[in-house]
Structure 1
Amino acid sequence: MSNPKIKLLPFAEISAHLEGFDVVSTQWGGDGRVYVLLINQIPERKQGMFVQTKLNQTYTYKVLIVTEQSIEEVVIWGQTFNYHYVQPLHGHLLLVGARCTYYGNDKYDLNAKVCDREGNTIREFLLGDGIQSVQVTENGTIWTSYFDEGVFGNNGWNNPIGSQGLLAWDMHGNKLYEDHTADIADCYALNVVNEQQVWFYYYTDFMLGCVSGGTQQPKVTLVDPNLSGSSGFCTDGYHFLFDAGYGKHGTFVLKKMEKPGTLTKGQKIEFVNEQNNPFKQARQDFRQNRLLLSEGNLLYQVTVEELASGLV
């Protein structure tokens, strides 16, 4: 069977908000809206390689809150930290930098900032270095996953915050949970469905994990998806749409959990845009049962149910 090519049509166009700004990231919020983080100039990397934490000049960030009907804009002026992610947090916005430095003597960067919708800072706290992904529940639980440098330590962190690979925090940055079931060297993918269901996928075992029961009584189960190097996935609990993995990024595999703990081999899928062209450098974000693709000024979405039923 040939791989089906599924045409996606854009649901939002953001070019009117991009003048003078570059896109940093596009993410789903737990509320079903899309949150686009923009900056007026992408900071240069140190020695052309390393991501800066504190910045040597002030930058302006802008957050777009996007639905199919509207785009809200929040401007955050005069910032001197390098932020990469944005999520809604109880009516406010949470900005998080992937990297932060430990300077010794309990001095370190605070890489999480909570702002109001006028761009004013409410509080700042530490979420650790080497953050791969940040997703916040509608109740305000912050989940963070970490790549290898955040697990094993860098930027001065001999005892890294993210050493377990997957953590949860309350809205003030107090730790609620860290994983001790999976042996995570690099958490490649995270999908926070709700307060009671959090999925993750990790290296080196390439296993799919699920934290159920919330942070108070967590139960972790592991499933082998038979995929190596997937960068993300979405699920309705039965269907699982994965990035296809090493050497195949940009193509996808739709699997089913027909038996508890076992996924099918799956159907490979390719997406094309409204002009029937493959997505070449689209940003991807997976949350709950939805995939978000953003390319240029356009945003696209699809659910696993739409794919499974052939309605796209």
Structure 2
Amino acid sequence: MPAERPETRLVPYARLPRKYRDRHIVHSSVDAFGRGHWLLTEHPPKDLGSDPYDALVVTVEDRVCHETYLHAVLPWCPHIEALPDGGFVLATPRADKDDGQQVQVFDALGRATGTFRVGDGFQHLLADRAGDLWVGYFDEGVYGDDALSAPGLRRWSITGEPLWSYSPVPDAGWIDDCYTLNVTGRTAWMCPYSRFPLIEVDDAQVVRVRQNPVRGASGLAVLGERAVFFSGYGDDRNRLVDCRLTETSVEPVAESRLVRPDGGRLGRPRIVSRGSRIHVQVKPFTEWFVFDLA
């Protein structure tokens, strides 16, 4: 058995106010500006049926709460992401090739404005500060029969226009599964299976590939010449690996185990990586915690 690692405690970040706790949480996210969002319904998601319904988005920023009511939500769109103009995107990770309603867009007033599809089997859907959507796909999407998913990582406009897709570059190869995705500003960082290189992408091209010995990370924080990877397999689950970045490589410096603010174990957390921050949420998903390199 490996030696017990020192602990790194998460910090409380954003909490769903108690007055909303009688509603059902469909999904939650943290956007490019650091705001926490909860998609809520009056009835359990499994009881919503097949008809469009209304939902409430509660946004928390610096302990200030804001409500947005969404109208005519499609019943199969459980994943929420916020847009810089105050609107929202709802999407379902799995979709048939003829499903043009995989992604549903809402304006700042909660009105549905359009739908489009981004490909079957996405693992990550993160909007950047300009409102473009970075979509990373898992293996069933990459190796399925949907050409939109095959590149492993794509960037889309909010109207469904394909803006960029990954293609193999030296020292990186193909993406089998986009394990880790961090979107900050107009830059995306990813760590794909199976070789797990750290790949930096701006809005037009792959900028840099660094060889990376850290395997199986599901979260990533990047700041200057540092990167911290979260999670792993088996006994390495919930570990943090603090690394130094060179021009061509990732060099581990120290390890610890990430725990709740009270020191408790995390279990299987929900992760959102944004710049220097790894946002972490655990059941019952009413609160976001954060690890911040800054």
From 7, 20, 25, give the equivalent of 1:22: 25
Task: Label 1:159 to 1:21 Cα distance change in 2 as closer, same or farther (>3 A).
Answer: closer
Give 1:29's aligned amino acid. D
Partner secondary structure for residue 277 of structure 1: coil
Deviates further, 128-137 or 265-274 = 265-274
Task: Label 1:84 to 1:55 Cα distance change in 2 as closer, same or farther (>3 A).
Answer: farther
Deviation at 1:178, TM superposition (A): 0.5
- Kept in 2: contact 1:90–1:139 (CA 8 A): no
Structure 2 residue aligned with 1:308: none
- Kept in 1: contact 2:179–2:192 (CA 8 A): yes
Q: Runs (4+) of structure 1 moved beyond 6 Å?
A: none
- Kept in 2: contact 1:152–1:160 (CA 8 A): no
Let me know the Cα RMSD of the aligned residues.
Answer: 2.3
| Partners of 1:168 and 1:67 in 2: CA distance | 26
From 253, 259, 284, give the equivalent of 2:241: 253
Number of residue-to-residue matches in the alignment: 282
- Kept in 1: contact 2:217–2:232 (CA 8 A): yes
The within-5 A match list for 1:1-312 is: 3-14=5-16, 15-24=18-27, 26-39=28-41, 40-43=43-46, 56-79=50-73, 80-102=75-97, 107-153=98-144, 158-181=145-168, 182-195=173-186, 197-212=187-202, 214-215=203-204, 218-247=205-234, 248-257=236-245, 259-295=246-282, 296=284, 297-305=286-294
Partner secondary structure for residue 250 of structure 2: coil
Deviation at 1:60, TM superposition (A): 4.3
| Partners of 2:177 and 2:10 in 1: CA distance | 31
| Partners of 2:248 and 2:37 in 1: CA distance | 33
| Partners of 1:8 and 1:219 in 2: CA distance | 32
Task: Label 1:192 to 1:11 Cα distance change in 2 as closer, same or farther (>3 A).
Answer: closer
- What TM-score comes out, normalization by structure 1 length? 0.82
| Partners of 1:174 and 1:55 in 2: CA distance | 30
Partner secondary structure for residue 171 of structure 1: coil
- What TM-score comes out, normalization by structure 2 length? 0.86
Deviation at 1:242, TM superposition (A): 0.8
| Partners of 1:55 and 1:84 in 2: CA distance | 17
| Partners of 1:143 and 1:118 in 2: CA distance | 24
- Kept in 2: contact 1:3–1:267 (CA 8 A): no
- Kept in 1: contact 2:181–2:190 (CA 8 A): yes
| Partners of 2:198 and 2:135 in 1: CA distance | 16
| Partners of 1:267 and 1:55 in 2: CA distance | 49
Q: Which runs of 5+ in 1 are unaligned?
A: 45-53, 306-312
